[in-house]
Chains A and B, each alone.
Chain A
């Protein structure tokens, strides 16, 4: 099928139309141009949404249990539910959501179909089987008669041991995502063979830099799981070094948050400006941002280990410095997002210094969801700066502050952006009109209010010293002195906020289910997928920005600098020692 494409940028210049069922014309949607890729993206999104539904239910159970509002499970089972919540939302909902979004973005911007159906099916099945194994083993922990469990939380720190199938499942999910990346790189190669001199289309550039970062960083957890935890859980090796394995985890554990975040950035840079009524401010700065993330996302993992013994302060200092410089691409993004929205509003005739804000299309959920996600991410960014502060971190490490922080980032910047973009994208992937549009219009605000309540209380609870990851933060010998407010009031806000978030999740799923079940295929859509050219195009930026090999090489070098000596130190006293046998024994 011929596609009308901007020669250099992947932004459509002309419109094409198809006939709809009732005989009127409608703009050609993604599903018409790339039916196969649309199907793949749909499958990814449905799996992501299913994981989201279960994970959200688990979240509700936790919020009510922790705050002693309603306890329907035992406190021992709380940790099974918590493991499920973390894995289903932070690994499954994210990875599948990202795969769906990237499959669309890469195909749309290159204008080239995926090259191998077998490859696509291969990674889809690998990721799906991995998910079933990991999730199945976790849920089995709720039933005494199933001899398997994985009550190890999302970080699965050894020597807490899960059933081997949990580790196998996690490994398959990650290996599957590598296959997805290969699929997108092959698409790019196909496109490049027809466009030898063109600049990489922006969305494809973002997809590829994100995936290069992902390959580099997920290698850490792959090594941890495949070479240490799987053989150890099978009894092939008797012990593992807890510090080494958790260091490998955090080598992956911070960049993974950028793996969640960058897809949101793809949307913020490429779709949000259009939804605001304008166009992206600057294509070159978008590229600079993604290159910075490729370079700096990985050599920062030690900032999750500021309070770990066995790691010299100097290594922590290097990670801290790198982390602080990682603020730069996010601060640049803040500028671009706000500037693009303002530009969009002014294009639509808004005036005034701040009056343009109220003229934005807040009644459209695809816009309001993304904009609210951006606002929450700014708040999350500030609490993240505290986390990154090497010494001030000691006040809040492993307190409720930390989940308060990441529910703003992965729990809103990613999650709410994905929900919002689904309102816009799913019609284009299905050819069906969005159903229950009124429900959809309210939903982002419900999520926003729920998260404001829950997250502010969690942050303050953390300052009082209330720990995270516990079923009953109520002790005999420990009292928590709130700096602002009272502990009782925080609990109430967490319970109400958590409930509202669950309601928001159900509303979203109802809209998606309704669209799938009730929407007529081949309808006239309210949305269209055209994305206007940026104000400053790529032709104004140096070509070296597109040299992915160069940036990857520098990224690897930075990782070697940050991790080479510390990892050597840990391995020098024996790869498996000081070592721990599995628990429970």
Chain B
């Protein structure tokens, strides 16, 4: 098959570009250690969350911020149309420490995004989204539900407040 010299050059350059892209992503995973949201959070029946029977859930706890020996755990329920915690009171976490978020939904699909950052996950009924974040600086981050969840979707927001370690008070273990 006859392929023009310029076409061959272009073909080769395209392949180099593609391999380079894949390389940057692999580097992002193993270098800076950017992890994907995956199946590590486990599953939970949406009805269990809806009924508030958290003691029956293997992969979820009563919503709140927990200070454990391994770090800080934050359990969030995203529901029509608020984050619990997050909306009526902010999620308070310490700076400089690894925070594990666990987010699920008892009703429809929601989103959980700290605006302008890469803290971003889908919240799917039946699944617990688990991911870790370390906030280097104190300050406030707005939480946006970024997936349409019903006609009050645009009112669904919340806040994470990052405080100094000395000011942090976690819930019971």
On whether the beta carbons of B128 and A309 are closer than 8 Å, the reply is yes
Q: Is A424 an interface residue (CB 8 A)?
A: no
On whether the beta carbons of B37 and A578 are closer than 8 Å, the reply is no
Q: Is A36 an interface residue (CB 8 A)?
A: no
Contacts of A324 in B (CB 8 A): 18, 21-22
Q: Is B70 an interface residue (CB 8 A)?
A: no
On whether the beta carbons of A284 and B157 are closer than 8 Å, the reply is no
Known: A307-B122, A312-B38. A478 touches B157 (CB 8 A): yes
Known: A399-B113, A465-B115, A578-B45. A310 touches B124 (CB 8 A): yes
Min CB distance A72 to B, Å, is 17
A42 to B54 Cα, complex, angstroms: 59
Number of A-B contacts (CB under 8 A): 227
Binary contact readout B18-42 vs A (1 if CB under 8 angstroms, 0 otherwise): 1001101100110000111111010
Q: Is B143 an interface residue (CB 8 A)?
A: yes
Min CB distance A355 to B, Å, is 19
The closest CB in chain A to the CB of B18 belongs to A324
Min CB distance A478 to B, Å, is 3
Binary contact readout B115-148 vs A (1 if CB under 8 angstroms, 0 otherwise): 1111111111111111000000000001111111
Known: A331-B17, A389-B21. A467 touches B28 (CB 8 A): no
Min CB distance A31 to B, Å, is 37
Known: A385-B21, A391-B28, A477-B157. A578 touches B126 (CB 8 A): yes
Kindly specify which of A47-55, A105-113, A468-476 makes contact with the partner chain: A468-476
Binary contact readout A299-337 vs B (1 if CB under 8 angstroms, 0 otherwise): 000000111111111001000110011011001100100
Min CB distance B134 to A, Å, is 15
On whether the beta carbons of A242 and B125 are closer than 8 Å, the reply is yes
Q: Is B158 an interface residue (CB 8 A)?
A: yes
Contact of B148 among A305, A390, A470 (CB under 8 A): A470
On whether the beta carbons of B118 and A394 are closer than 8 Å, the reply is yes
On whether the beta carbons of A577 and B10 are closer than 8 Å, the reply is no
The closest CB in chain A to the CB of B15 belongs to A328
Contacts of B34 in A (CB 8 A): 391, 394
Range class of the B interface residue count: 35 or more
Chain B residues 134-173 with CB under 8 Å of chain A are 142-154, 157-159
Contact of B127 among A309, A388, A469, A584 (CB under 8 A): A309
Min CB distance B77 to A, Å, is 14
Q: Is A464 an interface residue (CB 8 A)?
A: yes
The closest CB in chain A to the CB of B126 belongs to A578
A297 to B59 Cα, complex, angstroms: 35
Contacts of B117 in A (CB 8 A): 395, 465
Known: A160-B109, A465-B115. A285 touches B7 (CB 8 A): yes
A285 to B2 Cα, complex, angstroms: 10
Among B24, B144, B145, the most chain A Cβ lie within 10 Å of the Cβ of B144
Q: Is A7 an interface residue (CB 8 A)?
A: no
Contacts of B114 in A (CB 8 A): 465
Q: Is B67 an interface residue (CB 8 A)?
A: no
On whether the beta carbons of A159 and B107 are closer than 8 Å, the reply is yes
On whether the beta carbons of B7 and A471 are closer than 8 Å, the reply is no
The closest CB in chain A to the CB of B104 belongs to A309
Contact of A159 among B4, B18, B125, B154 (CB under 8 A): B125
Q: Is A518 an interface residue (CB 8 A)?
A: no
A74 to B116 Cα, complex, angstroms: 28
A390 to B24 Cα, complex, angstroms: 10
On whether the beta carbons of B142 and A477 are closer than 8 Å, the reply is yes
Kindly specify which of A114-122, A185-193, A535-543 makes contact with the partner chain: A535-543
Contact of B35 among A284, A313, A327, A580 (CB under 8 A): A313
Contacts of B119 in A (CB 8 A): 394
In the complex, the 5 A-B pairs of residues with the closest C-beta atoms, listed nearest first: A478-B142, A578-B126, A465-B115, A465-B116, A76-B151
Known A-B contacts: A390-B36, A397-B113. Give 12 more (CB < 8 A).
A76-B151, A157-B108, A157-B147, A282-B4, A308-B121, A309-B41, A316-B38, A324-B18, A332-B7, A391-B25, A399-B113, A578-B127
- Between A and B, 29 residue pairs with Cβ closer than 8 Å are A160-B108, A282-B3, A282-B4, A308-B37, A309-B128, A310-B127, A312-B39, A324-B18, A325-B18, A328-B15, A385-B21, A388-B21, A389-B21, A391-B36, A394-B119, A395-B117, A395-B118, A397-B120, A465-B144, A469-B147, A475-B157, A477-B142, A479-B142, A536-B4, A540-B1, A569-B39, A579-B126, A580-B107, A580-B126
